[in-house]
Structure 1
Amino acid sequence: MEEKTLFPREEKSEILFKKISEDKWACEKLMETFCSYLFSNDGVDLPDSPSSTEFAQALFNSYRNRDLSAFLMAICQNTVFDLLRNAFLIPYRFNADGKQNPMIMTDENGMLLPEYKRSIHEREYRHFHEVYTDLGAPKNIFLAQAYRYSHSYTSDDMEPEQNILEKNNGVLLIRELPDTVKLKETEAEAYSAILDIVIKLQKELPMSYVFYGQDSLVEDNTRYDEIGVFLPNSHFLKNLERHVSKAEAIIYADN
């Protein structure tokens, strides 16, 4: 019988799952995240918990289709990989589901792009530019807006939809990594390769977001993967220069 899953299954995820399973801190983060979403959406603008009928239907459908993510979306509005992302164990995708995220608001010289002049407070931009200048005007640091997300589905059409959990302005650091598509690696394998970086960032800079794009950066006609570290102003505005330097030290030390 042909398997039909609601949400595409990530290929070759075994190594990633094994590495997470062997890290007690990561396992605790994952369990804590799952429990925080399970039937409890307090303070988060997500759909209500499923009715008993919807719960039973989701349970039986996931069993028939071998689709754990469909069941998780029904009970906690997260796929398996959403839970890993919202536990800050793997990166968010750059521009996931065709939606711009993060939204970069400055150019390579740290200048605010005209279309975002009304989207950011002048004081916020001025503080960013001061830090940007103090760091030597690096080409890979931007003022940006980013959000965390999960997925759920409606019982009517069973189509998954993206839910925005929280949105913040902050500083985004981007750097290139080897092209894993050229190396014929899957996204899950790429996540496994940078797991140590992601965990170290979360331990040193809790609540920072990590973004990743396979084959998404082009420089001099050469394609690269790219990793982004987003430092929300809500957590990192104070001592921003020190936080940026710490993030750079982590991502450059491990590559």
Structure 2
Amino acid sequence: MGTIFPREEKAEQIFDEILKNPRACDRLKNTFFAAIPSAEESEGAGTDIPGTVFAAALFNAYENKDLSAFMMAVCNNSVFDLLRNSFLIPIRFNDKGVENPILLTDENGKFLDESELHFWEKKYKMFRELFEQQNEIPDYQMYMADGFRENHFYSDESEVETRKISEHRGILLMFNFPESIEFEINEEKIYAIVWEALMRLQEALPRALMYYGKRDENGVEKHTSTLGIFLPFCHFEREMEKTIELANGIGLGCREAILAEMKAQAK
């Protein structure tokens, strides 16, 4: 797809000269935000970043046709940060080697760090009650966990940095696939099924997180793919039992849809 306007000639030369002049960069930044009436009132809208960082991000985005490079300077989010943080796409387990979600209990429901237990005694008691009364479901686990989302931004040195946002403690439901299953299904079809399940999840339980993919543990990749639904206490604590029931229905339905698609393709 072509650009809307013809690209300027000698753009790199123009950009280089502007970047040498911090006052010129500031004027460019101020002109941009002046065209957005509400920008000055929006916390974290990018108005507080140095003009040189703003200009470098703008020029880099123009030269490389990289929208995310500019979005990070304007709103501290890449394009896919915006999608994830709007609950419009699922989160990959332990994306880019960062553990997320962080498990706080083992498969038997025991708290992993006894020294921290007294800080979370009330939440853990709730979790244990739900853990003990859960239905027996094949290839399914319930954990107490910490989950979070991320955004990306530029440091004052124009380096891309990652920041955790919306860190919450809650209950993680894990829907595993049998280890005997080998995923030869088209990745796009898996993603389409997971995305539809995420939309159902947001309709029923807004602000629940959905994870998918292969979960790495201690640097070793497991050979089973997994679906996960994370339910923060801050949003669902008052009706957690009912919430888990709804989430289980969506998670199990998603897993069954993927298995059905795999069987159909194998024929």
Give TM-score, length-normalised by structure 2.
Answer: 0.68
Q: Please tell me whether residue 81 in structure 1 is matched to residue 80 in structure 2.
A: yes
Q: What residue is the counterpart of 1:147 in the other structure?
A: 148
Q: CA deviation at 1:60?
A: 1.6
Q: Which runs of 5+ in 1 are unaligned?
A: 1-34
SS of the counterpart of 2:246? helix
Distance 2:118 2:85 in 1: 26
Q: Write the letter of the residue equivalent to 1:223.
A: H
Over 3 Å counting, the alpha-carbon distance change for 1:128 and 1:98 in structure 2 is same
Deviations 1:199-221 (A, max 9, x none): 1111100111112224758xxx9
1 or 2 for the larger relative contact order (CA 8 Å, sep ≥6)?
1
Q: CA deviation at 1:117?
A: 3.1
- RMSD in angstroms over aligned alpha carbons? 3.3
Q: Please tell me whether residue 201 in structure 1 is matched to residue 207 in structure 2.
A: no
Q: Write the letter of the residue equivalent to 1:167.
A: E
Q: Write the letter of the residue equivalent to 1:246.
A: L
Q: CA deviation at 1:181?
A: 9.4
Structure with higher helix content? 2
Distance 1:94 1:119 in 2: 28
Distance 2:130 2:193 in 1: 31
Asked if structure 2 preserves the Cα contact closer than 8 Å seen for 1:201 and 1:250, the reply is yes
Bigger radius of gyration among the two: 2
Over 3 Å counting, the alpha-carbon distance change for 1:215 and 1:235 in structure 2 is closer
Q: Write the letter of the residue equivalent to 1:199.
A: M
Deviations 1:102-161 (A, max 9, x none): 1111111111113563474111100111111121476511001111111112252x4322
Asked if structure 2 preserves the Cα contact closer than 8 Å seen for 1:169 and 1:232, the reply is yes
Q: CA deviation at 1:39?
A: 7.1
> Quick one: percent identity of the two aligned structures?
34
Q: What residue is the counterpart of 2:56 in the other structure?
A: 57
Q: CA deviation at 1:192?
A: 3.2
Q: CA deviation at 1:77?
A: 0.9
Q: Which runs of 5+ in 2 are unaligned?
A: 1-35, 257-267
Q: Write the letter of the residue equivalent to 1:196.
A: E
SS of the counterpart of 2:238? coil
Over 3 Å counting, the alpha-carbon distance change for 1:206 and 1:222 in structure 2 is closer
Q: Write the letter of the residue equivalent to 1:125.
A: Y
Q: CA deviation at 1:88?
A: 0.4
Q: Please tell me whether residue 132 in structure 1 is matched to residue 136 in structure 2.
A: no
Over 3 Å counting, the alpha-carbon distance change for 1:230 and 1:196 in structure 2 is same
Over 3 Å counting, the alpha-carbon distance change for 1:166 and 1:40 in structure 2 is farther
